Amino acid sequence: MAKAIKQIKKKNHNQEEEQASAVASIVKEIANNSDAILTMIGIVKNLHEMGALDTISALIEKRNDVGVIAIQQINKPEMHKTIKNGINTFNFLGTIDPEQLRTMLFGITKGLERASESVGKKENQSLWQMGKAMRNPDTRATISMMMDFMQGMGEGMANVPTNKK
Amino acid sequence: MDNQKFPIKINGKDFDAIQGQTILEVAKSQDYEIPSICYHPNLGTIQTCDTCFVQVKGELVRACATKAEPGMEVDTLSKMVKDAQYEAMSRILKNHELYCTVCDNNNGNCVVHNTAEYLEIEHQKYKFEAKPYPPDNSHPFYRYEPDQCILCGRCVEACQDLQVNETLTIDWEREAPRVIWDNDVPIDESSCVSCGHCVNVCPCNALMEKSMLGEAGYLTGIPANMLGPMIDLTKEVEPGYKEIFAISEMEAAMRKARIKRTKTVCTYCGVGCSFEVWTKGREILKIEPTEEAPVNGISTCVKGKWGWDFVNSEERLTHPLIRKGEEFVEATWEEALNLIAGKLTEIKDQHGANSIGYIASSKCSNEENYLFQKFARAVMGTNNVDNCSRYCQSPATAGLMRTVGIGGDAGTIKDIAAAELVIVVGANPAESHPVLSTRIKRAHKLHGQKLIVADLRKNELAERADVHLHPKPGTDLIWISAVTKYILDQGWQDKEFLENRVNGLDDYLTSLEKFTLEYAEERTGLTKDEMIQIAAMIHEAKSVCALWAMGVTQHMGATDTSTAISNLLLITGNYGKTGTGAYPLRGHNNVQGACDFGTMPAWFPGYEPVQDREVRERYEKAWGVSLPEEPGYDNHQMVEGIHKGELKALYLFGEDMALVDSNSNYVDSCLEKLDFFVVQDIFFSKTAQFADVVLPAAPSLEKDGTFVNTERRIQRFYKVFEPLGQSKPDWEIFRDLANLMGAKWAYTHPGEIMKEAASLAKLFSGVSYERLEGWNSQLWPVTADGTDTPLLFEERFGFPDGKAKLVAVDWTEPFQPGEEYDLFLNNGRLLEHFHEGNMTYKSEGLTHKVPHPWVEISLELAQERNIEDGSLVSLTSPYGNVEVRAIITDRVKGNELYLTMNTREDNEAVNKLTSSYHDKVTHTPAFKEMDVKMEVLELKGEPPLPEVNHRFGNRIPQISVRVEEKWKRDDFTPIQDLFRGDEYGQSDQAN
């Protein structure tokens, strides 16, 4: 004879058992990864000494308040410009042929060397000397390149892609 | 011309087109991308989004609405096409703010996101404009955010023409159109049945599962006071959408690391819907159906879409329990299994193997049912094993076994959709098999399918039917036989079919003689005209499917009525062709599979008799034991056996017998008498209260396995979570127990169990987990090479000579308890809850929609007895008494009551009223044969059904989204008018 019953006696020590088994599995993982854990402890110790942990903890705790302030600061016209300029610059870099830039930069490096030599001499070239220098093929190459650059720039300025397609 | 293939050119490349396909379908079928947003393969052409414009003969046409023609040349790349698509996408983005990275729908499958990206939208032509409506968060499960709604109408199409609940429309008349529910009421107060179709098809985040909000993304939980400025900032500095898309794609990819997507098969009815479960840890984010799902596509119902909270319920059993005195005490698996092994051995030794019964579960997997019958037969030496199909479906199976030789649905859901005429007898598929019923509703609404419903209640399908028959309770056999006789008298039978494919015509004709229209009219209450009309409709239809369920099978003459239905189909030649056949609608997810895999007292897996020596030897050899040859007890006989003192112990899993078996008071008194009772379940059920040992089992989401749906389709489901606490999958419990008793079973995965079953049962020869991978499925019989059988009987019926049998049957008068019991008691399931609600009441949202059971009382009876909505009434039968609150409705007529079964309370449960009378052949209880007397206990009270229930809604039927009304608006300019040749005009738009 078994009457219907609803009473269930839960073992009190179940929670302790579950805790014990959870702790055991954590200890096992720690033992298996002791090197990584020790390194991490080192990092945490340093962060703590720096006071960085307190800062991070406060930031996390107050993440919404801090986030709102930050986003308000960022969501201003100057910041819009900064971000847009950042993105435009980034995009600009993406459009340059690395080989061309390398040639240019190499030239600029050489140019700088010579320029700093000239600064060191503390002696300016006379107009005559400058005139003579124009005959120098290296100088001519730079100037003709500058002329091409200016032409291209003019072309580019006339055809800036609009933001409305 | 049907199915004729011809080539067309898209961008100069050849594509095969089939007659009737649109350009878009041709492209999609060959994985060629033409952008589209509103088109969905399960919904068809809607024509609202305009992103699929292509160029044919110099003109812009919609690829989704233009049929491919031989020799057609399609250009999808020209400037005109690109400009048109850009215009269309810009109009969409005017209605939809792109904040993808902080959107919970950014999971790689957002159609709006992906289309905008594909079209390389850099900047938006028209500024986003918020709509003047707040979001609707009234519904417990989903929200509508008008600001994000692109008005594509997918949701409306799905609601109107796929689910066919007809709740959603778009009001194109107002200045800012939006989707509205009913006559523009909050979602929760509408006729919405919460099926989830609209959410499933929404191409963006306008309609979303609330369980996803703030949970899916890494940044989506951000509070509104931070999110607003963040969106503004993003828009202010945006260099173009390309960069935004790059970031949102990265974020979507990161989400995949923490959102797990697992295919599963629904356990809420026999239709067999499959879908993905999206989870984060143990949290269910959403149910995501896909068009690849073989049965349901993107369709779901309220339970399948939302009803899974029970998996993480606090009330789950997590430890084995052992009865000690007046209480259950938590135990270890070792203690529990040792106790069971010891007790079962002791009882077997003392009283014989047949003194123990085994009741299996039609909710559990094929593999679990296979192992359980193997345990009963091979380890415990008895055939006393049965499953709960005994409570519902056995008579249908028996009726089909008699007539066509195979006890399963003749075809698939596609045949039901394709039939010219569907006859539904004693079934309420709109509530009990919701997704299957959507296919009938759709075919009936859009494709001219005729529908006959024979039911006591004006249920949803009855409301929609061309003819609703309301025969007297329990008289279906009579009108079906009379209609069959009339068809024969008119010479409308399929003579060739009968000649070539059917035996037993002469005897059958003799048996029909008494079923004249006059006799039927007298007994059934139907008119001759009604029956003649039915006969004529069957005669005129080229293909007929007959569907039935508990209204037929839970009667004393249930097998005979099922037989009569099959006879009618044979007489009219409605077997073996597309769109024909018999479809008993299986109620549980694995009723079919439990029977298929052998938890039946007389059958091994695959319906091979235990009495057949050759079959038995095959199993004896494989299992290395000798097996009992006499059929064992079925469920009913087990209860009788306990009563008589022959059955001493019972092992039951996944079944709440104390509530769902008929005549509960009697069953309960028997359960009390058992010497030893093991109950295995996921919850501490009513039945578990009688147990000596309760074992905690794991539900489908916590294990692997397969189910067989009502179509005979075998589908795999995959483990989503680890079992909760110390619960275990049922198959592991059987394995461990068997091994404790010396069985040495080495199964480590259900796939191995299926392999063994397939190697032994011919019906499943070619079934394997590899062939069932992912969305693949197999419909039995499956031959060794893996060929399955979607449609049965194309060549032969399931008898040795390949011919079907007409079987003479006679009417069995239903049980009537006596004059004083003056009201007929009908009963059944309802949409929102599964059975008694052990699982579905764990969902707050479902409980919000339906918190209580109720009894439906007709307008006439309510007036006569002075009863109102909310009155508390007591119903009394000779077997017991219940007290429930009333709902007055015209769904029931006259003296017929309908009591819903969604309760776990003794004094509300219908089976306190039902008897132990049963079907003569299969012993299925006659749940649907009871009369009661009624007493009003309290006139006034709170109505048991809240006003936020769909039954009080106000449907707005229409076909599709009525895009023509959008096109008629003054502010709408057709895109094709803007881009004629090179003369582009100016645009206004209203989408």
What residues are paired with B547 via a beta bridge? B424, B583
Percentage of chain B exceeding pLDDT 70: 98
User: Residue A119 pLDDT > 90, yes or no?
Assistant: no
* Beta-sheet pairing, B693-696 with B676-681: parallel
Question: Which residues 302-341 in chain B show a CB within 8 A of chain A?
Answer: 319, 321, 323-324, 326-330
Task: Indicate yes or no: CB of A2 within 8 angstroms of CB of B243.
Answer: no
Q: Which of A6, A10, A75 sits opposite B229 (nearest CB)?
A: A75
pLDDT above 70 (res B944): yes
Contact B374, B737 (CB under 8 A): no
Residue of chain B nearest A68, judged by CA positions: B226
Gap from A108 CA to chain B (nearest CA, Å):
31
SS3 track for B355-389:
HEEEEECCCCCHHHHHHHHHHHHHHCCCCCEEEHH
pLDDT of residue B582: 97
Element (H, E) at B731: helix B730-740
- Nearest-CA distance A47 → chain B (Å): 26
Binned at pLDDT 50, 70 and 90, residue A165 comes out as: very low
Contacts of B330 in chain A (CB under 8 A): 8-11, 14
Cross-chain residue pair B692–A68, CB shorter than 8 Å: no
Taking contacts as CB-CB distances below 8 angstroms, the residues of chain B near A80 are: 233, 236-237
Say if strands B872-877 and B931-938 run parallel, antiparallel, or are unpaired.
Answer: antiparallel
Cβ-Cβ pairs closer than 8 A, A with B, add up to 84
- What is the DSSP secondary-structure string of A73-125? HHSSHHHHHHHHHHHHHHHHHHHS-HHHHHHHHHHHHHHHHHHHHHHHHT-PP
CB distance A8–B330 less than 8 Å?
yes
Give the tokens for residue B944: 């048991």
Q: Is B329–A9 a contact, with Cβ atoms under 8 angstroms apart?
A: yes
Is the minimum CB–CB distance between B689 and chain A shorter than 8 Å? yes
**CATH number of this structure's domain B394-584, picked from the four choices 3.40.50.300, 3.30.70.20, 3.40.228.10, 3.90.1150.10:** 3.40.228.10
Question: Which residue has better confidence, B125 or B851?
Answer: B851
Phi then psi dihedrals of residue B817, to 5 deg: -75, -10
Q: How far is A100 from chain B (nearest CA, A)?
A: 26
Measured between its terminal Cα atoms, the distance across chain A in Å is 84
- A91 close contact with B: CB closer than 8 A: yes
Burial of B249 from C-beta contacts in 10 A (0-12 / 13-18 / 19+): middle
Does B722 contact chain A (CB < 8 Å)? no
Region for B793 from its dihedrals, namely left if φ exceeds 0, alpha if ψ lies in -120 to 50, beta otherwise: left
B320 upstream amide cis, omega within 30 of 0: no
Over 50: is that where the pLDDT of B561 sits?
Answer: yes
A-proximal residues of B, 236-255, CB under 8 Å: 236-237, 239, 243
Mean pLDDT of B865-892: 96
Q: Which residues pair with B936 in a beta bridge?
A: B873
Residue from the list B229, B243, B321 with its beta carbon closest to the beta carbon of A8: B321
Q: State chain B's mean pLDDT as an integer.
A: 94
pLDDT band of residue A126 (cuts 50, 70, 90) is confident
* 8 Å CB contact of B225 and A68: yes
B658 closest CA partner among B905, B313, B897? B905
Flag if B690 and A164 touch (Cβ within 8 Å).
no
Radius of gyration of chain A (CA): 35
Beta carbons of B589 and B561 less than 8 angstroms apart: no
Contacts of B658 in chain A (CB under 8 A): 4
In this predicted model, what pLDDT tens digit does every residue of A52-96 receive, in sequence order?
888 888 888 888 888 888 887 787 888 888 888 888 888 888 888
Q: Is the pLDDT of residue B1 over 50?
A: no
Picking from B25, B72, B74, the residue whose alpha carbon sits closest to that of residue B53 is B74
HEC sequence for B832-888:
CECCCCCCHHHCHHHHHHCCCCCEEECHHHHHHHCCCCCCEEEEEECCEEEEEEEEE
Tell me whether residue A135 is exposed, middle or buried, using C-beta atoms within 10 angstroms of its C-beta: 0 to 12, 13 to 18, 19 or more: exposed
Q: How far apart are CA A57 and CA A37, in angstroms?
A: 21
| Residue B440 banded pLDDT, cuts 50, 70, 90 | very high
Tell me the nearest-neighbour CA distance from A9 into chain B, angstroms.
Answer: 5
What is the third-level CATH fold of B321-391+591-763? Answer: Rossmann fold (3.40.50)
Nearest-CA distance from B689 to chain A in Å? Answer: 5
Q: How far apart are CA B681 and CA B758, in angstroms?
A: 27
Residue B456: what pLDDT?
96
- Looking at CA atoms only, how far is residue A85 from chain B in angstroms? 9
Higher local confidence (pLDDT), B910 or B226: B910
Q: Is the Cβ pair A64, B226 closer than 8 Å?
A: yes
What was the pLDDT predicted at B771? 97
- All structural domains of chain B with their residue ranges: 321-391+591-763, 394-584, 823-952
**Interface contact A69, partner B, CB < 8 A:** no
**What span, in angstroms and rounded, lies between the C-alpha atoms of A1 and B669?**
10
pLDDT class of A98 with cuts at 50, 70, 90: confident
**pLDDT tier at A11, thresholds 50, 70, 90:** confident
Which single residue is written with the structure tokens 């994985």? Answer: B31
Give the tens place of pLDDT for each residue, B37-66: 999 999 999 999 999 999 999 899 999 999
CB B294 within 8 A of CB B303: no
Separation of alpha carbons B319 and B335, rounded Å: 11
ipTM here: 0.76
Instruction: Find the helix or strand (DSSP H, E) in which B261 lies.
Output: strand B260-265
Q: What is the pLDDT of residue B321?
A: 97
- Render pLDDT for B776-798 as a digit per residue (tens, 0 to 9): 999 999 999 999 999 999 999 99
Enumerate the residues of chain B whose CB falls inside 8 A of the CB of residue A4: 658, 668, 671-672, 686, 689-690
Question: Which of residues B500 and A79 earns the better pLDDT score?
Answer: B500
Q: Please check whether residue B812 is in contact with residue B556, taking contact to mean a CB–CB distance below 8 angstroms.
A: yes
Go through B544-568 and write b for each residue having 16 or more CB atoms within 10 A of its CB, e for each that does not: bbbbbbbbbbbbbbbbbbbbbbbbb
Q: Is A4 helix (H, G, I), strand (E, B) or coil?
A: coil
Please check the confidence at residue B71 and state whether its pLDDT lies above 80.
yes
For B272-316, what is each residue's pLDDT tens digit? 999 999 999 999 999 999 999 999 999 999 999 999 999 999 999
Confidence of residue B189 (pLDDT cuts 50, 70, 90): very high
**For residue B603, what are the β-bridge partners?**
B600, B609
Q: Are B142 and B207 in contact (CB under 8 A)?
A: yes
pLDDT of residue A61: 85
How far is residue B741's CA from residue B56's CA, in Å, rounded to a whole number? 75
β-pairing, B73-75 vs B142-144, is: unpaired
CB A75 to CB B123 under 8 A?
no
Query: Smallest CA–CA separation between A12 and chain B, in Å?
Result: 10
From chain B, pick out residues whose CB is under 8 angstroms from the CB of A17. none
Please compute Rg for chain B using Cα positions.
30
Q: Which pLDDT score is estimated for A60?
A: 84
Q: Residue A12 pLDDT > 80, yes or no? A: no
pLDDT at B990: 53
- The number of distinct structural domains making up chain A is 1
pLDDT of B178? 97
User: Which of B321, B684, B690 has its CB closest to that of A2?
Assistant: B690
Q: Render pLDDT for B221-255 as a digit per residue (tens, 0 to 9).
A: 888 788 778 777 777 776 677 777 888 888 888 88
B233 contacts A75? CB cut-off 8 A: yes
Residue pLDDT, tens place only, B84-97: 999 999 999 999 98
pLDDT given for residue B2 in this prediction: 53
- Lookup: tokens for A91: 């995009």
Instruction: Write the single-letter amino acid at B160.
Output: Q
Taking alpha carbons only, the member of B339, B338, B337, B351 closest to residue B382 is B351
Write the CB contacts of B91 (distance below 8 Å, at least 6 apart in sequence): B50, B126, B989, B991
Which 73-102 residues of chain B touch chain A by CB within 8 A? 86
The answer to whether residue B122 scores a pLDDT higher than 90 is no
Contact at CB, B323 and A2, closer than 8 angstroms: yes
What pLDDT was estimated at residue B165?
Answer: 97
Q: What are phi and psi of B603, to 5 degrees?
A: -130, 140
CB B545 within 8 A of CB B581: yes
- Alpha-carbon distance B736 to B730, whole Å? 10
| pLDDT of B462 | 97
Q: What is the 3-state secondary structure (H, E, C) of B948-962?
A: CCHHHCCCCCCCCCC
Domain membership of residue A151 as a residue range = 96-155
Amino acid occupying residue B584: P
Strands B896-900 and B855-857: antiparallel
Strands B59-62 and B53-56: antiparallel
| pLDDT computed for residue B238 by the predictor | 66
Q: Are B661 and B390 in contact (CB under 8 A)?
A: no
Distance from the Cα of B327 to chain A's closest Cα (Å) equals 5
* Other beta carbons less than 10 A from residue B492's beta carbon: 16
Mean pLDDT confidence for B420-444? 97
User: Which of A117-121, B411-415, B815-819 comes out lowest in average pLDDT?
Assistant: A117-121
| Listed residue (B411, B481, B403, B510) closest to B803, CA to CA | B403
Longest distance between any two alpha carbons in chain A, whole Å? 125
CA A39 to chain centre: 26
Least confident of B142-146, B219-223, B297-301, B570-574: B219-223
Q: Which two tokens stand for residue B78?
A: 């020209």
Q: Does B225 touch chain A (CB under 8 A)?
A: yes
**Residue A131: inside a domain, yes or no?**
yes
Answer yes or no: is A10 within a domain.
Answer: no
Q: Which CATH number fits domain B823-952: 2.40.50.140, 2.40.40.20, 3.30.300.130, 2.60.120.280?
A: 2.40.40.20
Helix, strand, coil % (nearest 5) of chain B? 35, 20, 45
Q: Which of B344, B901, B419, B427 is nearest to B710 (CA)?
A: B427
**DSSP state, residue B471:** P
Contact B237 A71 (CB under 8 A): no
- At A72 the pLDDT is 79
